[in-house]
Amino acid sequence: MRGWAGAVRAAAAGPGPVPGGFRKRFDFGSRDVVSWFPGHMAKGLRQMRASLRRADCLIEVHDARISSDTALHPPPGVTRGSRSRHAGTPLPAPVPLLAPMCPSCPVSLQAAPFPSPLCTNPINSPPPHHQIGPPSTCSHVSTVTLLSGIHIPLSGRNPMLQEALGIRPHILVLNKMDLADPRCQPTVLEHLKQQGCSHVVFSDCQRDGNIKKIVPLVAKLVGNSPRYHRAESTEYSILVIGVPNVGKSSLINSLRRLHLKKGKATAVGGEPGITKAVLTRIQVCEKPPMYLVDTPGVLPPKLGDVETGMKLALCGAICDHLVGEDIMADYLLYTLNKRQQFRYVQRYGLAKACDDIEPVLRHVALTQGRTQKVKVLTGTGNVNMTMLSYPAAAYEFLRDFRAGRLGRVTLD
């Protein structure tokens, strides 16, 4: 019992509780975020890239609890870009990880030199359209790089999407709003607007909250933008994209429920990685005829920093066992205290708020019955004893947070 708690403290040993206050920062020790990226996601990214070319619009689904990341709260003296309201040295703009795409048609610049049979752009005269040259001399590359520099601050955002920004109409759905702190919404919206992201919908796919806003918005955006390769088609093809477990499949099911009065078309689950492959198109609306393509959730190969990874893990985007339930539970406690969300005190029967994970988990185990039977060898024979299970308590603590039982908490 003590050993496990000791391990937790060793893993997350930081400045420790400040007398009369809470930890001011969380020390992640020497944890390496690289091991949290499952390699198979590279395949998902490749599959999505192909689907992206056929899409009329992108719906990016993200978790409303991690909708503003550290760009809103950068370390002192550091900012993400010149638009930031914080002073300091700007971080470099994000670098596109995949081949840049032409902003006027769905063709990859590197894959399709002019004249390209794939390019059906009716507007651009031949050269310089798809003129291939070193990046420094290609005007398209510089445009794309510029667009990708529009950095929308979202923890764990897919880099492919940054690259595609400005090429397709884009809607950002901040899902699970029922779990996020509603007081943060205006700040998040304002910040996203400053970053050039103005089509944002907060949603709750379990109760169909705000889902009705999505189809009219998609119709308006697609109607107002050139469709080039798909001008003759009346069907709208929409790619749904986002990190694992944010509710992409739930969104599709919710739209079908509302507009077609039909049941589930795509599997939903509490673990990341339920959607395994880029699926065929799923109809969600008749007027206009709208089809959504569900995609497997993918994490960016570079998560950035450990704290970003930890937030994603708390929201269920990374498998718990890759990160470790012990440190996740401690980071959750640190966050709840930082956000002054003290519902856990009453739920687990604590006398007062606490910054030490061991007594909190002890109370979780006691109140939620997280115990285990162990056989103890004594001089007079074996004795069966009931012990508190700290790993099970940590798991319960995380489950309670994810179900909203510890309050509505925005992690960023």
Ligand X SMILES: Nc1nc2c(ncn2[C@@H]2O[C@H](COP(=O)(O)OP(=O)(O)OP(=O)(O)O)[C@@H](O)[C@H]2O)c(=O)[nH]1
Which residues are near ligand X by CB under 6 A? 175-176, 178-179, 204-206, 242, 244-250, 268-270, 272-275, 296-297
Q: Minimum CB separation from ligand X for residue 201, in Å?
A: 12
Q: Minimum CB separation from ligand X for residue 117, in Å?
A: 34
Q: Are 294 and 279 in contact (CB under 8 A)?
A: yes
Q: Which H or E element spans position 62?
A: strand 57-63
| Pick 100 or 300: Cβ nearer ligand X | 300
How do strand 281-285 and strand 290-293 relate by DSSP bridges?
antiparallel
Measure the CA–CA gap between 45 and 53, rounded to whole angstroms. Answer: 13
Q: Minimum CB separation from ligand X for residue 81, in Å?
A: 28
| Pick 197 or 318: Cβ nearer ligand X | 318
Q: Minimum CB separation from ligand X for residue 322, in Å?
A: 14
Three-state DSSP state, 285:
strand
Residue 185 neighbours by CB distance under 10 Å? 17
| Pick 101 or 299: Cβ nearer ligand X | 299
Measure the CA–CA gap between 365 and 369, rounded to whole angstroms. Answer: 5
Q: Which H or E element spans position 190?
A: helix 185-194
Three-state DSSP state, 346:
helix
Q: Minimum CB separation from ligand X for residue 38, in Å?
A: 11
Q: Minimum CB separation from ligand X for residue 350, in Å?
A: 25
Of the candidates 286, 225, 276, 217, the residue with the CA atom closest to the CA atom of residue 248: 276
What is the DSSP secondary-structure string of 26-41? Answer: ---TT--GGGGS-TTH
In the block, residue with structure tokens 């697609």: 222
Q: Are 49 and 381 in contact (CB under 8 A)?
A: no
Three-state DSSP state, 61:
strand
Q: Minimum CB separation from ligand X for residue 111, in Å?
A: 27
Q: Are 95 and 205 in contact (CB under 8 A)?
A: no
Distance in Å from the first CA to the final CA of the chain: 32
The residue type found at 22 is F
Q: Minimum CB separation from ligand X for residue 177, in Å?
A: 7
| Pick 175 or 308: Cβ nearer ligand X | 175
User: Which residue sits closest to ligand X, CB atoms considered?
Assistant: 297
| Pick 277 or 376: Cβ nearer ligand X | 277
Q: Minimum CB separation from ligand X for residue 10, in Å?
A: 32
| Pick 84 or 250: Cβ nearer ligand X | 250
Residue 386 neighbours by CB distance under 10 Å? 9
User: How far, rounded to the nearest angstrom, does the alpha carbon of residue 194 sit from its chain's CA centroid?
Assistant: 20
| Pick 175 or 410: Cβ nearer ligand X | 175
| Pick 268 or 394: Cβ nearer ligand X | 268
Measured N-to-C along each axis, helices 2-11 and 357-368 cross at an angle, to the nearest 10 degrees, of 140
| Pick 75 or 270: Cβ nearer ligand X | 270
The 10 Å CB-count burial string (b at 16+, else e) for 24-38 is: eebebeebebeebbb
| Pick 168 or 176: Cβ nearer ligand X | 176
Q: Minimum CB separation from ligand X for residue 318, in Å?
A: 11
